[in-house]
Amino acid sequence: MGKVWFVGAGPGDPELITVKGRRLLKGAGAILYAGSLVDQAATLYAPAGCVIRDSKDMTLEEIAAWLIDQARRHEAVVRLQTGDPTLYGALIEMVQPLDAAGVEIGVVPGVSSAMAAAAAATESLTLPEVTQTVILTRIADRTPMPDGESLRELALHHCTLCLFLSITLLHKVKEELLAAGWSVDAPVLVVHKASWPGEEKLIRGTLADIRDKCRAEKVASQAMIIVSPALGARQWPELKRSKLYDASFTHRFRKGVKAAQ
């Protein structure tokens, strides 16, 4: 019996898969990839003769059955997921039937679209004395949110929010954030197809106008929404600097010097 690897493909740019993920693809007997988001990595790195299949028309049961069947035929099987497999990737639902069938599994992390979106826009998700916390979440849709996790409640922290699966619900995002005390001028960043060569789009706006701007750019899918008090800091004239690089700050690797009086 072979091993099934759940591998994060990264956000789209095939160079953003990990070295380990690429090595596993190169040695895979079979690859099942998730929709059109990651087919490039699968086809670029798969060895000749590898069985490659798109899972977009398959149910969870079919996916599990396919992976188990391929694990009987090959030493290494890869389930290629977008971004990082532990975020909104139905990982546990796929792992349980493999456990039940006695198939060994492994998980390889990937660059999440939240990180790729911040990188695309040269934004820092944390900034000293502005926000030191990032919440990765989504807005309720057909998938309800568990108690205590409505966007309105999470937004009360006024920290960085990275919203997955929410681009068609920008009107609700605005409503919830306003209810949590955010200003209508609060900056919002939307990144469509972050890291996709030639296809990435950055849209900057505020809670007031981001929906219209996305409409005008025809962005209605595959987009990360970042709302954060740290957005736009690259242009700020004054920053609270990170203590780590401050001349007066002592840590394990460097002794700080007292500032001249």
Nearest CB to ligand SAH, comparing residues 218 and 258: 218
**Exposure pattern of 214-253 as b/e (b: 16+ CB <10 Å)?**
beeeebeebbbbbbbebbeeeeeeeeeeeeeeeeeeeeee
Minimum Å gap between C-beta 193 and ligand SAH is 5
User: CA of 101: how far to CAs of 3, 79, 159, 228, 257, in Å?
Assistant: 12, 16, 43, 44, 61
The structure tokens listed for 127 are: 């900034």
Choice between 84 and 124, CB closer to ligand SAH: 84
Q: How far is the CB of 140 from ligand SAH (least distance, A)?
A: 14
Please identify the residue of the shown chain whose CB is closest to the bound ligand SAH. Answer: 83
Query: Of 74 and 138, which CB lies nearer to ligand SAH in the complex structure?
Result: 138
Indicate the SS3 state at residue 215: helix
Site of interaction with ligand SAH (CB under 6 A): 11-12, 37, 82-84, 87-89, 112-113, 116-117, 164-165, 191, 193-196, 222-224
* Three-point CA angle 142, 148, 151, nearest 5°: 60
State the nearest-atom distance from the C-beta of 87 to ligand SAH, in Å: 4
Say if residue 176 is exposed, middle or buried (CB neighbours under 10 Å; 0-12, 13-18, 19+): buried
Q: How far is the CB of 237 from ligand SAH (least distance, A)?
A: 30
Nearer to ligand SAH by C-beta: 87 or 203?
Answer: 87
Task: Closer to ligand SAH by CB, 103 or 117: give it.
Answer: 117
| Minimum gap (Å) between residue 125 Cβ and ligand SAH | 14
